[in-house]
Chains A and B, each alone.
Chain A
């Protein structure tokens, strides 16, 4: 895996905006030269080139990780490990029911450390993964413009449409697509809605905060008070359950389809990393991870079970401690050995490897950071392979 610098396309901002990546620049952040100011989130002044063999290895690893996670999910359910993951008891019946019933599920993103040979799972974003428009669309168009003869590990678009075609008999139309009123979430959900639309599924857009609850008929409604029977929501289950309508969501499990289903709480919880290590100790794709403390780890990361975007991490490396801040951690932590993320001229790339349910490994996106921690300000850079 090699990193190259290259001249961005002329008017690259307009080009990526035209394919939905309207959030290509961050309002502020610290540039590599130390200057604080607007910085690109989509960074096509850099690209990564992989070999076909590296892509094959990533693809196989992603498929295998998914199998391991499914086995871990079964183990959590069979052995009632919900309390270890700090999953509320009120959610357990719905999690078990949906785990066994297998209602529609769509996608997920494994975050991987990859140095060209070793692959290590950092975490699994299985409930509300983003960086999707970038991976599925923007980098595909970049490749067409800049390296049309090269290939890219990216069939996310095709696989999402194929998955929606599979789901069409099982969802109730229109399928609602819910998101917060922020640019990235809106475009991500609009893209997913687009893929459903291309699978001939009727769709409607709704803001998460506009979802209505009809207490008399125990049903969720849209703004025109039409019943919502199937909904994709880009909003995490753990927060939904803690909010006013959370109990109502649990009430509707048998009458309404939530995508992603609530059992994804098993996978989006970083306690999964410790369960995986218990089940597959010393597996080459895993890092040692524990729920009860760092044990014998010297260099490790303490991650909140429900943390997001690199917040509230504590890194212990060479006896020195670094921390990031945020609102997470009250729910508990997992302790994971420090990953061997390559340092390429001060840039730390992490692979986001996409899986589409029943369609398999679908492609990758790469995010670069100036530190070993990937955060919401880390840059997305395109890739190709030959």
Chain B
């Protein structure tokens, strides 16, 4: 026989059950304000840039935060429930989005 004796699926079957959109991202990242309301990602990205370039008087305090793994309706203004916070001041400065911008699909 040249076929697999069995093809048992675990993670793939689970991903298939929740549908394609349910399996893509195990950790959702949302941008929230101090009341944990969902705001545009661009506000957190701006904060990240200030983190990197150094903060001055008018932007000395971070007003918008990344929230990881929370649940939300996905509309601006929705409350993000659960999740955990982005790195606090003094922890590693992390850039993201440096891979993945060139293609719609990585396979061939």
Contacts and interface: CB of A to CB of B under 8 A. Distances in A.
Contacts of A154: 2-4
Interface in B37-60: none
Contacts of A203: 11
B99 A245 contact: yes
Contact of A140 (B7, B13, B87, B93): B7
A244 B2 contact: no
Interface residues of A, number: 79
A188 B94 CA distance: 28
A225 B5 CA distance: 40
B19 interface: yes
A257 interface: no
Interface in A167-204: 178-188, 190-191, 193-194, 197-198, 203-204
Interface stretch (A73-81, A97-105, A129-137): A129-137
Given A152-B3, A154-B3, A130 B107 contact: yes
A153 B3 contact: yes
B3 A210 contact: no
A183 B68 CA distance: 22
Interface stretch (A32-40, A41-49, A86-94, A216-224): A216-224
Contacts of B4: 136, 140, 154-158
Contacts of A29: none
Given A209-B97, A211-B96, A18 B16 contact: yes
Given A207-B100, A243-B98, A243-B102, A137 B12 contact: yes
B101 to A, nearest CB: 6
Contacts of A145: none
Contacts of A181: 24-25
Contacts of B3: 140, 143, 151-155, 363
A184 B24 contact: no
Contact of A180 (B20, B23, B29, B104): B104
B92 A19 contact: no
A3 interface: no
Contacts of B97: 209, 244
A23 interface: yes
A248 B98 CA distance: 10
A212 B104 contact: no
Given A154-B4, A225-B87, A235-B100, A212 B12 contact: no
A221 B94 contact: yes
Interface in A284-300: none
B105 interface: yes
A6 interface: no
19 contacts: A18-B17, A129-B108, A136-B7, A137-B7, A180-B104, A184-B107, A185-B105, A187-B23, A194-B9, A207-B100, A209-B101, A210-B27, A211-B100, A221-B94, A225-B87, A242-B102, A243-B102, A244-B101, A363-B2
Interface of A: 17-20, 22-23, 55, 59, 125, 128-130, 133, 136-137, 140-141, 143, 151-158, 178-188, 190-191, 193-194, 197-198, 203-217, 221-225, 233-236, 239-240, 242-245, 248, 308-309, 363, 376, 385
Interface of B: 1-5, 7-13, 15-17, 19-20, 23-27, 29, 68, 84, 87, 91-108
Given A180-B103, A208-B106, 19 more contacts: A19-B12, A151-B3, A156-B4, A179-B106, A181-B25, A185-B105, A186-B15, A186-B20, A187-B12, A190-B15, A197-B10, A198-B10, A206-B26, A209-B101, A212-B94, A213-B94, A221-B94, A224-B27, A242-B102
